[in-house]
Amino acid sequence: MQTREIKILFKEFESVAELPAQDKQLIEAARSAALNAYAPYSKFQVGAAVLLENGELITGNNQENADFTDGLCAERVALFYAQAKFPSVPVKAIAVTANNGKGILEEPAQPCGSCRQVLVETEVRFNQPIRIILDGKQHIHVLDEAESLLPLAFKPKALNS
């Protein structure tokens, strides 16, 4: 038996002003998308902005439903729409933000497990890493790849092994 360790690296910024221009633009797009979320039940508005290799910027926000189980997260709304519209164009980056009714969260918004799984699948699909930008008032976290959010992820190759 061996004990193994997985490390992830991320960059922490103190404010949007410190970010590279492209990340800043993605956060701003995610923040405005969050304002259009359909979140009448949770009042928790999430926004996502996806940058594609061809320069297209696709945004999404959470869509809730009275039966709760039929809603969808902002990240997956944006990612699925991006891949539906541009099926052969790789995803380069995604920014995620959340607003709890009192403003943007103090600490970085964290994608749920299902969104992490979809992000990893998208990396596998296009065989390239996706830059992840997680917005918060006090800190912004930037990761170089989605797999850092989901170590030991289930991947398509498992289906054929």
Which residues here bind Zn ion, judged by CB under 5 A? 73, 112, 115
Amino acid at 107: E
Reading phi first (left if > 0) and then psi (alpha if -120 to 50, else beta), residue 58 is in beta
Task: Choose the catalytic residue: 18, 56, 75, 121.
Answer: 75
Residue closer to Zn ion, measured from CB, 22 or 148: 148
Neighbours of 67 (CB within 10 A): 7
Residue closer to Zn ion, measured from CB, 53 or 81: 81
The CB-of-160 to Zn ion minimum distance in angstroms stands at 27
The CB-of-104 to Zn ion minimum distance in angstroms stands at 17
123 is catalytic: no
Residue closer to Zn ion, measured from CB, 8 or 112: 112
75's CB contacts (< 8 A; 6+ apart) are 46, 48, 60, 94, 96, 111, 115, 118, 119
CB 91 within 8 A of CB 56: no
The CB-of-37 to Zn ion minimum distance in angstroms stands at 13
Q: Which residues are catalytic?
A: 75
